[in-house]
Amino acid sequence: MFPRNVWYVAALARELCATPLARRILGERLVLFRTASGKAVALADRCPHRQLPLARGRVLGEHIQCGYHGAQFNADGNCVLVPGQGEIPDHCTVRSYPMRESQGFAWIWMGDAGRELDTGITGIGSFLERGRWGTLDSYIHIACNYELINDNLADITHTEFVHPTTLGNESMRAARGSAEPADVPQFEASLVAGGMDFHLSLTGTRPAPSFVNAFNRVHGAGAADTLDFRLDFSFRAPSFWVFSPAVRASGTTDGREGIGSSGLILITPEDTSTSHYFHKICQDYAPDSEAETRYWLDETCRAFDEDKVVLEAQQLNLKPDDGDARSRVSFRGDWMGFQVRKLVRAMQAAEAAEHPPTGAP
């Protein structure tokens, strides 16, 4: 169902602290917290004694204390103290999930034990090393299957209708693959290890409001007449995305520099019909200006809220027999989403082949 042998984002790093956080990931209830020494910890959220969620307890130094009878568990999920008795009962443990922190995210391993050691954080991580990522990030919860979010992110043409005041307008029709008139530029796609890269270049166009407004913020009101627009974006299976749009003045060399930004979107399935949506943003033209970066955070978060409304309505409208939630009718603009779904299917098939159902020979 869910690819498991992959590092997912469990939380923004700043969400982890001494106050336990209850969160479900891949259908499992976890408690997330940070110990006194700074270690990020994820445990099954269920005391083995009386089943109280450990998230109802509190962090004491390197341990979490159950809120019912005070039993303490360490970061490995082993009970280390039962108040009032000397010995620890057998099997008094909870599952502990490996975690890594990197670039402001706390990543979790929900897969086969041990394999996390030789599995890197998603290839999207390489983008994290390239950009000048600051500290601005966001988290939203979306009540839909994670693949509907993949469809949404792979399908730029919806921006014209869902985000007309921010990220979309008619210029995005180029994403349709085979647009009309036929000479409109199209996205280029290339398969890479673990995902796909997409690229679009438009010259002398009128990009969507967020891009035009950003250009004018920097170069003065009305500076933009027509602009050259460039969008690179990358998908890494099963649900990691980076978007890098940039605009510059068309055919000018007068010093009005181009401006670009990058947004990372990392989806973690909460369950089959709900998802966690993590987001981080940066820009390349005023890297020390938090105001400029916040502009992009605000624009994109506004758009994500619009997507959330659409995605949740879509999820509720799926019929039970929809299987993998694929649509019946396809538009030309769906081709990028199809590539993405194919990569996810391959990942699921590879994991299923390694884990034959119980009872199989």
Instruction: Provide the binding-site residues for a second copy, judged by CB under 8 A.
Output: 29, 45-46, 48-53, 56, 65-71, 82-86, 89-92, 151, 155, 157-158, 160-162, 173, 175-176, 178-180, 309-310, 313-314, 317-318, 322, 327-333
> Quick one: CA dihedral 214, 218, 220, 225, positive or negative?
negative
Q: Residue 273 CB, nearest distance to a second copy (Å)?
A: 13
CB of 102 to a second copy, least distance (A): 31
- Neighbour order of strands in the sheet with 105-109: 7-12, 105-109, 99-102
Q: Among residues 98 and 209, whose Cβ is nearest to a second copy?
A: 209
In the three-class reduction of DSSP (H, G, I as helix; E, B as strand; rest coil), residue 190 is classed as strand
Rg (CA), the chain: 23
Smallest distance, a second copy to C-beta of residue 177, A: 8
Beta carbons of 31 and 19 less than 8 angstroms apart: no
- The least CB distance from residue 86 to a second copy, in Å, is 5
Beta strand 259-271 pairing with 274-283: antiparallel
Residue-wise over 209-237: b if at least 16 C-beta within 10 A, else e?
Answer: bbbbbbbebbbeeeebeebbbbbbbbbbb
Q: Which is nearer to a second copy, 66 or 106 (by Cβ)? A: 66
H or E element at residue 16: none
How many CA atoms are closer than 13 Å to the CA of 164, on its beta-carbon side? 2
CB of 334 to a second copy, least distance (A): 8
Residue 247 in tokens: 């605009």
Nearer to a second copy (CB atom), residue 173 or residue 302 = 173
Q: How far is the CB of 352 from a second copy (least distance, A)?
A: 25
Residue 198 exposure: Cα atoms within 13 Å on the Cβ side: 26
Residue nearer to a second copy on the CB measure, 311 or 344: 311
Nearer to a second copy, 79 or 99 (CB): 79
Residue 263 and residue 280: Cα distance in Å, rounded? 6
Token readout for 178 is 């085979």
Q: CB of residue 262 vs a second copy: minimum separation in angstroms?
A: 25
Choose between 52 and 286: whose C-beta lies nearer to a second copy: 52
Of 71 and 136, CB closest to a second copy: 71
CB of 277 to a second copy, least distance (A): 18
Comparing CB distances to a second copy, the nearer of 130 and 332 is 332
Give whole-number Cα distances, 49 to 21, 57, 74, 82, in Å.
20, 14, 15, 10
